[in-house]
Amino acid sequence: MSAASVMTGASASLAVAALLSAVHLFAPELRPDGRLSGRRWISFAGGVSAGYVFLHILPQLAHRQASIPDLGIALLAGREVFLIALCGLLGFYSLERLARRLSGDKGARSPSGRGTGFGLWLHAVSFALYSAIVGYLLSQAKDAQAPALAAFAVAFGLHFFVNDQSLRRHHGDFHRSHIRWLLAGAVLLGWFAGLLLPITDHHVTIVYAFLAGGMILNILKEELPEERQGVVSAFLAGASVFVLASLVMALEG
């Protein structure tokens, strides 16, 4: 690959990272929850994210399985990459539950919207880690084609929007004044860290699988509980639109 194409790929991935950072910054300015149309929009975004996981992330993980060393466990043969994804889901779930327990949050927003001390910051840092991983993986995708980057940008942009709405519900003004800046900076920090600390394709697969587990957790967490008042038709519409768009891009490619 020529130096020019590498620079072009890096510029494109940086542009996507900047876009995702902007989503974190401006999501608090959009307050869709509390209105039917808002709930539909959030469910639609969740459907798009779910479509991305099942049409892009999981197939890529299956393709990348060959780069994962055999652990020597017969029952896991050919499934190691999915075990890593499960670890990502369990890891982020554990951080989420610990943060809520420490902050005394049982699922509803506190009256002040600020939570308490260490638990609040642990919750914020866990999402910052998640955002930084996304930025890091973007920096490793210098040879990604434009359609793949576009799908990544749309799926994670909507995914971050839903996550930010959830954080705003739980942490109120503290999200606006602190957390959104932390998350926005984490995406860009992760991208620049990827330039300084590049990793092999084998390690990219491990990080990608771990992220997939976290993404699945966040989709299920926001869409399945009844108190979120998710709209099934909007969720299905989001997934269907993404599936159709992916099929069109595949045919044109």
Write the DSSP symbol of residue 113: S
Tokens for 181? 């800046």
What's the CA gap between 44 and 97, in Å, rounded? 26
- Is 31 a domain residue? no
What's the CA gap between 36 and 40, in Å, rounded? 6
pLDDT in tens, the chain (253 residues): 444 454 466 888 999 999 999 999 987 676 654 544 567 887 888 888 888 888 888 888 888 787 776 666 655 667 788 888 999 999 999 988 888 787 665 544 444 444 457 777 888 888 999 999 999 999 988 777 888 888 889 989 988 988 888 888 777 778 788 889 999 999 999 999 998 988 888 888 889 889 989 888 888 777 655 555 667 888 889 889 988 888 887 776 5
Indicate the number of domains in the chain: 1
> 135 near 182, Cβ under 8 Å?
no
- Is 30 a domain residue? no
pLDDT at residue 66, rounded to an integer = 75
pTM of the model: 0.83
Q: Return all residues near 209 (Cβ < 8 A) that are at least 6 apart.
A: 61, 64, 81, 82, 84, 85, 88
Full domain range(s) for residue 190: 3-25+36-252
Write the DSSP symbol of residue 230: -
Q: Return all residues near 135 (Cβ < 8 A) that are at least 6 apart.
A: 17, 20, 21, 186, 187, 188, 189, 190, 191, 193, 194
- Is 94 a domain residue? yes
